[in-house]
Structure 1
Amino acid sequence: MTRTDSFILPFSDIRAVDLPLVGGKGANLGELTHAGFPVPDGFCLTTTAFLRFMASCPDAERIYASLDTVTPDDLESVRRVGQQVRETLLQTSIPAEIAVAVRQAWQEVGVEHAYAVRSSATAEDLPGASFAGQQDTYLNVRGEADLLDAVRRCWASLFTDRAILYRCENHFPHREVQLSVVVQRMIVAEKSGILFTADPLTGHRHTLSIDASYGLGEALVSGLVTPDSYRVDKRTRAILERRIADKRIAITPEKEGGVRQVTIPQEQRQATVLNDEQILALTDLGCRVEALYDAPQDIEWAIADGKIHLLQARPITSLYPIDGLQSPDGTLHIYFSVGHQQNMTRAMAPLSLTCFPLLLPVEPLDQHLGYPVLRASGDRLFADITALLRHPILRKVIFGLLSQFDALAPETLQIAMRRPEFRGPHGLHISFAAFKSVAGLLRQVGYALWRQDLTGFIPQTNALMDRFTEDMARRLHEAPPGKARLQAVQDALPTLFPFFLNWIPQFVAGEIAKRLLTRLGRKWLTPDELNALTLGLPGNVVTEMNLAIGDLADLARRSPQLVDWFSHLGNDSHVWLEQAAQLEGSEPFLDAWDDFLARYGARGPAEIDIAMPRWYEEPLPVLKIIAAHLQEEPGGQRAQQRELVQAREAAARKLLEGAGRGILGGLRVRLFKRLLHVLTAAGGLREHHKFLAIKVLALVKEVLKQTATQLTAQGKLSRPDDFWFLTWEELLAIWDDETTDWDALIPPRRADLRRFQKLTPPMVITSDGETPVVQYHVDDAPPGALLGNPVSPGIVEGVVHVVHDPQTDTLASGEILVATFTDPGWTPLFINAAGLIMEIGGAMNHGSVVAREYGIPAVVGVRGATTRLQTGQRVRLDGNRGVIEILSDA
């Protein structure tokens, strides 16, 4: 009989390659046993036994067919089908040949012992999955009959409601997830617990965390007891922290089988469970297990008669990966999430990750520092800002800039900066050429702020940008298809950032003017009036885009047939548009629609990710917004813009009138008139650089799509969309490389992207994995309220709508938008929003600026908002204090 035919494998015979037979838990126990760790003896019933059991069930095919009909949003169906499946399996007899094999293995380990019987799914305890706890565990099992019953119950537990739901949500086919059962001699533990070889709360890879309680570990795992907690520095073995809990109960084994709860004697409740010797012995054990797997581990342990036993180990799946964030010089390095700065925290495929940096002029800084500034980890980009934070002057600049993206960024960074390992030279030496360039830029800013006539500057800039994109499109088109055209892209993209200098001085001057007006105008204007000075500015590309969408709705209203057709908007926007062209009176709308896509079609959700669909590729989100506009009054967007302009002009008049009084009134009026001119003429430049970058990325995307078609036709790739999972360097190399199996690279990278997409990226992370977190605090906040950074004033009560994908979701009028982030591709959703709640962001993030433009309350930086809030809940959103109070459930 081969191994794959075996029903039973003892721990001593199991290796990692046996994972398909014994699942993640079983494979780990085999590896640990083989490596000499103190693992209690036992054996596994293989997946072959499970398949044989399922084959013996006459209703097996009906079971799988019913499971295939279940969807994660139909909980009633999950419960009904799950109960039917479990009842069927529990009534199915275990085949005799399996029962014989179990009896023999049980006798070899020892019939006198009690056993723990646990399931071990083939998708459990793996680096990319977190199935732990989805199936059942049975403790203190004694006797053959109870052992076989526990095995059958483990098999049935593959179909608990939560296990079915988890597989549905994570796209694990029910037929492919097989089950092994672990039968392990149970340790009658005096003490037990969980050990994390990296701090699960902070992510710190050098800090080990131990939770400990009395009795069996089930009390701790099931949350029945608050354990003692210990933290240890793995490098020095120094015990950093002891937190002693009030441990009222323990779970202990019954003599005849099963377990019971017992009350802990008063004198033991607040005594430490572990002494220092045991803490350090567990630390050493954890470090050895981590070294075996070369990855942080979640370890269950028990102590009996003074001896430590290792019950199981699995990877910690909740930690954010740091594979690409190692320190280049042995000191602690600090990284800031590019996604947080760009309002886009989705994971990106390898080509997107390696294409975006081509837009940024970081190569000279890389060469100057001797290490790359931009790093990828967890399929997201991070910037190494260590050198800037170590520099006494640039540190203040960085704090100021990043606080605009998240008010807590400076405080979060300072947590990591206080660590001794962070100390080191900054390594920045400003050359004369660099000093000269900066000085020249500052002169241009000063000229724009105080002397330049900026009338008509934004239209001039728009024309300049149009010429740039036309020239780049021609340049890319003239290059021969294939590698030469890709090389043309690589040569062309670095010209983008220098081109921004055509308006960066004026943009900076506009920002300075805004700050000066806000600071100096406090004497004559209220906070609302000061805010009004910054709203309704002409030339902002995002504002103009939103106005254009409203204009499209007004054009659609001219055709009753088209208005009716919008009520039949399905999921195929291209077919819908083709049929719309046949409707009477639709031509003016469709002509304007073409013009809209020509100017704004390169936009879309998460638009810095070149792989994400653009509106010219999938216009459905814009059509949905137009349909929503049709439910409102005509011309509403233009009326709102006029109100903003009127409020801005009224505030400006009041400022000049008030400032003009007194001896120095004339000088103040001249100063404020100049600042108002600069703000009005240049304040709308805020989004221009990103708008141009997105249009350039759209040109590049077309080149990449053509390239993918070529590579597929040549047989170098199996599918056109596989090219997203190659890096830029690989895409250049693939043309001449005849030896690499490119297809083999794709599946694991696709799996990585799916896995990383589920992780929440930290705003700040260190080279040893620490993710410092700072919480907002508001005095007198209601219990249970969510707190964040108030960025747009006002108070509103309403129903929240959690939106993850603006491509598929719309907002009803009056709903409060809840999102992880927003970028210009999300802006149309603001039309109906009564308020905004975001997980990331600061006062100058896209969503915050748009919320102020629309005059809706907004609170950003609300940690976990999209998971703690549910669509349909009613909340009170206080944009003055940064408080979200939940009033009623969904």
Structure 2
Amino acid sequence: MELLRDFKKIDKSDVSFAGGKGASLGEMTKAGIPVPFGFVILSSAFEKFLEETDLNVEIEAILDSVNHKEMHTVEHASEKIEALILGAVMPKDIEDEVQKFFKNLDSQYVAVRSSATAEDSASAAWAGQLESYLNTNEENLLENVKKCWASLFTPRAIFYRFEKDLHKQKISVAVVVQKMIESEKSGIAFSVHPVTQDRNQVIIEAGFGLGEAIVSGQITPDSYVVEKQPRQIIDKNIQTQSRGLYRARKGGNEWRDILKDKGEKQVLSDEEILELSETILHIENHYGFPCDIEWAFENGKFYIVQSRPITTLHNNQNNLSSDFLRLIGGKKLYPPLNNYSAFIQGSEYNIQKYYGKWYDNKVKLDLLILMRSEFSQVWLSETDIKLASEYALKEFITSPKKFDKRLKLFYKNIDKINELYEKYSYEKINNSSWDELIPLIDEIRDLIWDANAAVIFTIYLDKDFCWDILESIQYKITRQELEAIWPHGTEPAFESFDKAQLEHFLNLLKKKKKLLEISEQCQYFLTDYFSAKSLGVIEKTLQDNFSSFINNSASVSDTLIAEKKKLQISIEKHEKWLSTLTRNEKEVADYLQLIMKTRDRRKNFFAKGLTIIYRIAEKMFSEVGLPFDLIPFYTMKELNMGLEYLEKSAKNLGDRKNGFQLLIPSSDNVKMLEFPIDQAVEEVNTYFVSSHSTGGNDEILKGQIGSKGNVRGKVRIVLNVNSDYGFQDGEILVTGMTRPEYVPLMKKASGVVTDEGGITCHAAIVSRELGIPCVIGTKIATRMFKTGDLVEVDANNGLVRVLEKSK
């Protein structure tokens, strides 16, 4: 049985065993188009793997249980299948063949890409459905091949297969392994304008660095329009690029800042645009149909790394009815938080004294919080977080007693918070005086910030970064030893969050606590703070049907006990592995596990402290007669001012909820800026997006045309696809950038508006396929609009107009 084949021996008729991507690369290689050398691990290798590991029957049975309209069945099936594939051993003959072909490439780094046998036909694009792993080296090659196999069963790939009615077909997957081009510039091109469908125009998008940044919508690229006859550039849209994705020094990818002078320049010269256009037309003429092409540029030469049919062209143009990291101002943007979390982080408080205390005043932790109605966002200085990480690792190695003092304080504070959490139940708080409760707020705040500052270094964990630090202090460990330790050392800490929560739930059940108390604690934990690394079945049981948990606590108890046994097995395996390490290796492994463990304990500790404060706030708001949904917009300082102040500030709280707050911690307190929704854009621009202006104002926002059309509808802001925020049919989806998992929402939407992306990004491609209007690259849509605003999406002109603001 043939398992692998060189590009030179593959052509476009080999989709059934090389997949769409593999067949296309082979076809272009034979046609003399500049394609980096490579080979395909044929679908027969995947099928042999399934057969020899006896996984095929299990996978088929799991897929039979899927109802793609109920996403939890898709996700559950995906988790099971991916775990089966990644946990199985690759047959020796396949492994030997892959390594032999890899050596023949004579390349240190390769791109490893999935290539489904039903991929990229003229009517269906698997845009982003399957996985790719860039800058793969020999060490992680085999593992990434298995990850590509498993990506045939990600939730989005399973969903897409059902949506395109491909689930009844036999779909297998090949894997493309291709010499990695170290792209100076890269991008995407269409041999026909994908928006206007003008067949006399070529569209090229270009950015500095790897093209993955463009495909994923994480940068907005230059775009050029080239007329075929006569051959000339007729339009150029030059963007400023502040960062790019590049090969990391020791493999993998990393974001790097781009100097302003370079980032403001046109990525491709006019001569390069025309040269690339010739190659694009060569490909279109060879295939005889319009093509969507990915290209890269290295050492003065263009390379084609992928080509597929354009799937979004319509026969009748008149029927076309129609992006936790991003850097803003040098700050790392964290995902939307629960407002209660921002509430405590943004307290009027001298947080800097704690960071100075634990990091010799080297870490100030530049922190900025934006709160808007149903979500919050936090900006942290990545430079400060890295400094904290460097400081802590050096301290762990060179000053273990000092590091131990740090941990003792952390655990002492955890114990104190746990003690207070058990003591101050709702009943206790309701029966306590304000003379007792007000000082309690300050005590909890002190406990949280001191412990949080001590272990803030756990946020940042990077292998190359750790190696550089160990090397700088001449620690006796080799790079190879660190590479071997890393996967085991960074597994979820078995003695931490998961086990603690298992014990917590089991104890509640054993003690036959009141169902109301179990409900409160479990629901709070799951809806706001669950880290979803494991215990997926419990998470889904409780989140999807919480009442069934309350009514069937015995069955959940059985599930918890079974999960506890699995964890114990994992602990024993981990301890056995530790016994094989040298002293220095074990020291590094202990540090990595300490980070994993502390990360989780930090979350739980933070959540419990916040719960006590929130209970106190509920008592206060209940006495005054204010709704609890206003609590997140009340600050720590205001809580301390008592009931009379709260009564007077009721209207102010309502205004905050319907507007914005900026919380800016400084050296001695937190500056709080408040402003209504109609002033938000101007104010937010002042702090975040003044250097990214797209010409938008508070009534009209300008972006690029992703998919033509015109529609009116109510805005629904979606910042985290894990929650659709009650998305209704016909609403306008406003988000940072869509990814494949957003497709179910896009099918409900009447239009799409994004902050980032170019005309070849996921949002634009899928919107054209669905035939709905789409405006992309607005930069500030998610900060300018509010859920419920009535807007007009004029995607014929790239504009979004506010017709009526929500009240």
Give the TM-score range, shorter chain.
Answer: 0.3 to 0.5
TM-score relative to the length of structure 2: 0.42
TM-score relative to the length of structure 1: 0.38
Query: Which structure's CA Rg is the greater one?
Result: 1
